[in-house]
A and B are shown apart, each in its own frame.
Chain A
Amino acid sequence: MIRVTRTLISSAFSVWLATTIAFFALRILPGDALQAQLSMSGASQAVIATRRAALGLEASSLTQYIRYLQQLTQGDLGVSLVSGERVTDALLRNLPPTITLALSAGTTAGVLGIVLGIVSASGCGRLSATTRALTALSLSVPIYWSGIVAIFLFSVQLSWLPASGTGSVVHLILPVSLLAFHTAGSIARVAQASISTAAQADFARTARAKGLREKQIIAHHVLRVGLLPVVSTAALQFGFLFSGAVVTESMFVRPGIGRLLLDAVIKQDYPVVQGVVLISASAYALVIAITNVLNAHLDPRISL
């Protein structure tokens, strides 16, 4: 129990650190969303100053930060500087599509990555070479390029799948496959390496010496040990999944946290950016914490 508490405390610290860095980093650039909108409408400096003061934007960064923390303790994430909408509302609206995308892509990537890893590690000739090539492709090609190619092939040329929008499972196929393919690469790499190592370990040799068949050795002995590092890698891919969602959501015209973040960053809508950073840092910290606990359970050699 103490171990779990300690993990939670360190997670909370990471979240605080991430939001604080985001808070001050955003304010390195001059101005904000409101100032940009008003100056482009020809508002006078006096009018802009009054409007900004009303939202507390004229105060020093430190004062704003203290107020932000105070609001945060009351569960208030502020309002968007452009739309006037509550940040909580914007987040709640955009979370479900991103969770759908991330979970589907994450699961697919996990399965795909492990399968690719096992096949690559099995070292059986051509098949293994193909999977290794796929892994290399997954890791080396940028997602916005493969995305355009996929849209061109499957939507424009073949007309099999819609390239944009939401509404049905069909709309999920392209974005999920794409995101999953690029997430699977690292999982496959780690799986391949650790399975290969495990397959040459002493316990595997012992099993072979006992006369067990190779399939049995892999399934019952090697995978149990070999897949352990895959769990941590898969958890770390959560971060990639999120940054991938930013690109994927824009490319496939899907609503979601990634697109919300991109828009808010471009427009300097600070409260929205802070809200997204808080949510995604919390989610990431939570996943890492769960992985740590899970790993300790799976592998008695690890202590928290």
Chain B
Amino acid sequence: MSIQKAVKTLLVVFAVTALNACLPENSAFRGASSQNRLIYGLTLEPSGFDPHIHRSSELGIPLRQVYDTLVYRDPNTKAFVPGLATEWSVSGDGLVYTFKLREDVTFHDGTAFNAQAVAANLDRIVDPATGSQRAVFMLGPYAGCEVVDDYTIRIVLERPYAALLDTLSQVYLGIASPSALNAYSTARYQFHQVGTGPFTFVELIPGQRILLRRNNAYTWGPPFYKPAGDNSIEEIEFRFYTDPSTRVLALESGEVHVMGEILPTDARLLAGNSAIQLLPVNVPGQPTQFLINTTRFPTDNRAVRQALLFGTNRNAIIDAIFQRFSPVAWGPLAANTLYYNPALNGAYSYDIAQAQALLASVGFADSNADGILDINGVDLEVNVVVPPWGLIPQIAELLQDQWRIIGVRAVLTPVPTFPALQQVVQSGAYNLVAFDTAGLDPVFLNDFFLSTGSLNWTGFTSQELDTVLTQAASAADESTRQVLYNRAQQIIMEEALLLPIRDYVNLNASRAQVQQLAFDPYGWFPLLNNAVFSGTGS
């Protein structure tokens, strides 16, 4: 190409760009096509949208706006506040919960809300024909319910279950209109959902969108819901951005106003863009962690487990992989989980000398000078099970490098799916396995650390830990629970049953004109009732 031509081409490109800059920002296809319509990008398309049946977190993002729950948790104090129930009481034995219900509530289809409606929902969730994949398990040892009068309902349990209010505050146990539940088959209801929440369900077109519209009759929200004003969101359209690489582009082009789960590297790039604000939300529950198998060589030795923890440079991992958008995790709970034990802060800080001393103290030495410690001719080698989600593969690679410094060889076993991970775990042929769960109430620790827990992949059994965890799960008094959970976390870390990496952070981002976008205390679900557009429309 001649120089003249190159210059001409450049001029054309320049002219086009300049012309474009003069065009109005709000082209027809852009974000808000109608007044105050919020476009919200979801990261994966759930295969099902019925909160009573399906289990994805993504379904809760739109449906948290459609359903009310009996109780809510205040996003700031995390305390339980009235929702559809105005007050509640628990029997002395912890087996009977009695809820007084609001009398001024109407479902979006006009059906009146009452105790019978709540009973119909609970019956549906526990009915085996419904095939619930999550909600039924959240009800725990649910035995049945009893309509006392039109506005009073009792929930009866088989045994005490301190997490009941916690689960009742989540959208999976949201209350749907009994007439709508009757009108559609179990598989079809998800396309015609009817709740009592601040937004009504307009349509769900799989693969395309979910559309919600404000419920103007809504006056029964929890105390932290503000009444709608001129700048409030009128309509919300949810779209599914399954390809991570296009999420940020959609946000930059203005096609969406809010996008969930941005990659940390993308978030770093967005930090310099004044049209976009980052909204990192800490998710309570377990941190990103590796559970350590206490029943297999060499991690059956506590000193080896502790050495692995000391030999892990978590700051380096957080810098490289999470772009410092995550805090370091110190124990089995993320810092914003209820009953977190702050005494663990700083436990097992990066200390190579300490790690090496621990390994030497139990007889490991590099007798064949190959850089890997050994004992009785057996190398110090750990097998790490690596699932593909949550940037675990990247973390595992860094761990491999870091542990080489203390003379430990890490062998990575990638698994493609959760059942494949379970298969390796069941075979017992692993030393560390990455897995964690989210939640505000640490009752989930029971699954992982009770001797009989369904996810007791550390293989650790201890009379004391069993007692402490069982009592903590059923104790009614908060300060008692705090003491018990403090002790449980302490035991878990003294025994080095897991390697915590970082507290999970849900990296959301939004266009700057979206204001007062808050998330519920579980970290996943936005509360769009209070969100407003600053200035005019888009």
Interface of A toward B, CB cutoff 8 Å: 29-45, 51, 79-80, 82-86, 90, 93-94, 97, 144, 148, 151-152, 155-166, 168, 170-171, 250-256, 259-260, 262-264, 267-269
Residue contact B246 to A151, C-beta cutoff 8 Å: yes
Residue contact B422 to A31, C-beta cutoff 8 Å: yes
- Nearest CB in chain A: distance from B184 CB, A: 12
Does B12 touch A at the CB level, under 8 Å? no
Q: Jot down 27 A-B pairs with beta carbons below 8 A, ordered by A.
A: A30-B417, A30-B419, A34-B133, A36-B418, A37-B134, A42-B137, A42-B447, A82-B133, A84-B53, A84-B131, A84-B187, A85-B48, A148-B245, A155-B249, A156-B252, A158-B16, A159-B253, A162-B30, A164-B241, A164-B246, A168-B29, A250-B242, A252-B246, A253-B242, A254-B207, A255-B205, A264-B47
Q: Who on chain B is nearest to A160 by CB?
A: B20
Q: A30-B420, A158-B17, A253-B250 are in contact. List 5 more A-B contacts (CB 8 A).
A: A165-B239, A250-B243, A253-B240, A253-B241, A263-B242
Residues of chain A with a CB closer than 8 A to B48's CB: 80, 82-85
- Nearest CB in chain B: distance from A164 CB, A: 6
Does B345 touch A at the CB level, under 8 Å? no
Interface of B toward A, CB cutoff 8 Å: 16-17, 20, 23, 25, 27, 29-30, 44-45, 47-48, 53-55, 131, 133-134, 137-138, 186-187, 190, 205-209, 239-243, 245-246, 249-250, 252-255, 416-420, 422-423, 437, 447, 454-455
Residue contact A162 to B255, C-beta cutoff 8 Å: yes
- Nearest CB in chain B: distance from A92 CB, A: 12
Complex CA gap A267/B23 in Å reads: 43
Residues of chain B with a CB closer than 8 A to A152's CB: 249
Complex CA gap A144/B246 in Å reads: 10
Residues of chain B with a CB closer than 8 A to A79's CB: 187
Q: Who on chain B is nearest to A272 by CB?
A: B47
Residue contact B55 to A40, C-beta cutoff 8 Å: yes
- Nearest CB in chain A: distance from B203 CB, A: 13
Residue contact A155 to B253, C-beta cutoff 8 Å: yes
Complex CA gap A157/B18 in Å reads: 11
Residue contact B447 to A39, C-beta cutoff 8 Å: no
Q: Who on chain B is nearest to A154 by CB?
A: B253
Q: Who on chain A is nearest to B186 by CB?
A: A84
Residue contact B419 to A32, C-beta cutoff 8 Å: yes
Given the interface pairs A155-B249, A263-B47, the reply to whether A255 lies near B420 with Cβ below 8 Å is: no
Residue contact B454 to A151, C-beta cutoff 8 Å: no
Residue contact A259 to B54, C-beta cutoff 8 Å: no
Residue contact A36 to B206, C-beta cutoff 8 Å: no
Residue contact B29 to A170, C-beta cutoff 8 Å: yes
Residues of chain A with a CB closer than 8 A to B25's CB: 159
Given the interface pairs A40-B418, A152-B249, the reply to whether A255 lies near B255 with Cβ below 8 Å is: no
- Nearest CB in chain B: distance from A152 CB, A: 6
| B419 interface neighbour in A35, A166, A170, A250, Cβ under 8 Å | A35
- Majority SS of interface residues in chain B? loop
Q: Who on chain A is nearest to B256 by CB?
A: A164
Given the interface pairs A37-B55, A162-B29, A163-B249, the reply to whether A29 lies near B417 with Cβ below 8 Å is: yes
- Nearest CB in chain A: distance from B258 CB, A: 14
Residue contact A41 to B55, C-beta cutoff 8 Å: yes
Residue contact A31 to B187, C-beta cutoff 8 Å: no
Residues of chain B with a CB closer than 8 A to A158's CB: 16-17, 20
Shortest beta-carbon contacts, A-B, top 9:
A31-B419, A255-B207, A83-B48, A82-B47, A162-B29, A37-B133, A155-B253, A30-B423, A83-B47
Residues of chain A with a CB closer than 8 A to B27's CB: 159
Residue contact A156 to B47, C-beta cutoff 8 Å: no
Complex CA gap A269/B420 in Å reads: 15
Q: Who on chain B is nearest to A249 by CB?
A: B207
Residues of chain B with a CB closer than 8 A to A161's CB: 29
| A156 interface neighbour in B239, B249, B418, Cβ under 8 Å | B249
Residue contact A44 to B454, C-beta cutoff 8 Å: yes
Complex CA gap A213/B388 in Å reads: 63
Complex CA gap A165/B29 in Å reads: 10
Residues of chain B with a CB closer than 8 A to A32's CB: 419
Residue contact B252 to A144, C-beta cutoff 8 Å: no
| B255 interface neighbour in A37, A144, A155, A166, Cβ under 8 Å | A155
Residue contact B55 to A31, C-beta cutoff 8 Å: no
Complex CA gap A164/B250 in Å reads: 8
Residues of chain A with a CB closer than 8 A to B44's CB: 263
Residue contact B133 to A163, C-beta cutoff 8 Å: no
| A251 interface neighbour in B53, B239, B243, B455, Cβ under 8 Å | B243
- Nearest CB in chain B: distance from A266 CB, A: 8
- Nearest CB in chain B: distance from A300 CB, A: 46
| A39 interface neighbour in B53, B131, B422, Cβ under 8 Å | B422
- Nearest CB in chain B: distance from A84 CB, A: 5
- Nearest CB in chain A: distance from B337 CB, A: 17
- Nearest CB in chain B: distance from A158 CB, A: 5
Complex CA gap A263/B25 in Å reads: 34
Residues of chain B with a CB closer than 8 A to A85's CB: 48, 187
Residue contact B252 to A80, C-beta cutoff 8 Å: no
Residues of chain A with a CB closer than 8 A to B455's CB: 42
- Nearest CB in chain A: distance from B461 CB, A: 19
Residue contact B47 to A80, C-beta cutoff 8 Å: yes
- Nearest CB in chain B: distance from A76 CB, A: 15
Complex CA gap A171/B240 in Å reads: 15
Residues of chain A with a CB closer than 8 A to B422's CB: 30-31, 39
Residue contact B253 to A163, C-beta cutoff 8 Å: yes
Complex CA gap A145/B242 in Å reads: 16
